[in-house]
Amino acid sequence: QKEVEQNSGPLSVPEGAIASLNCTYSDRGSQSFFWYRQYSGKSPELIMSIYSNGDKEDGRFTAQLNKASQYVSLLIRDSQPSDSATYLCAVKETNAGKSTFGDGTTLTVKP
Amino acid sequence: EPEVTQTPSHQVTQMGQEVILRCVPISNHLYFYWYRQILGQKVEFLVSFYNNEISEKSEIFDDQFSVERPDGSNFTLKIRSTKLEDSAMYFCASNRGAEETQYFGPGTRLLVL
């Protein structure tokens, strides 16, 4: 059973702080890695995708991938109350394949 | 911006009844998926569909489930005889190329009574 594990929440940070979300995966053959944001009762919304080792930055978000450690993370800089949501880590074994999701980490950004 | 659409947004049905959930993937996408999320649980893969056939399915996707692409735009999920445990949010997703990101529809909330 291929697993995706996320750091248990909930995670609470003050407005303006850095939020750090972590994810590990069991399948060494995984090719593609995604972070989604999900508000309660809504569908997953893509924040970042990352395919190769290293960092990828997009505005206030930075995804980091370390395939040797089977680890992917998401940093949110200058956190805003509107960032409060559940963040889902998803991993694809092949580029065309299904996504396997973690349980999610609920982030609360306090004003 | 193109998006995946799903209908209905909510569906209430009696146990044992058949339901059909409908999705319109983004028009130039080639890969289609159904996922479900039981309240408070993780998003779970059900089935993927490419080139007019199922490419992969999970253990959840048993004989009660079927998928179809009846025309060039719709992608449907049928549950033949619903059970209480089928109550969940069902998400359709699609992507254009094999290496590209899946985009999710808004979901159908199914409640089986």
Write out chain B's pLDDT in tens, 113 residues.
779 999 999 999 999 999 999 999 998 899 999 999 999 999 999 999 998 999 999 999 999 999 999 887 899 999 999 999 999 999 999 988 766 788 999 999 999 99
CA distance B47 to chain A (A): 8
Highest mean pLDDT among A29-33, A35-39, B24-28, B69-73 belongs to A35-39
Return the amino acid letter for B75. Answer: F
Q: Residue A82 carries which DSSP code?
A: G
A99, A105, A106, best to mutate vs chain B, most B CBs in 10 Å: A99
Q: Which helix (H) or strand (E) holds A110?
A: strand A105-110
Q: What is the C-alpha separation between A101 and A91, in angstroms, rounded?
A: 7
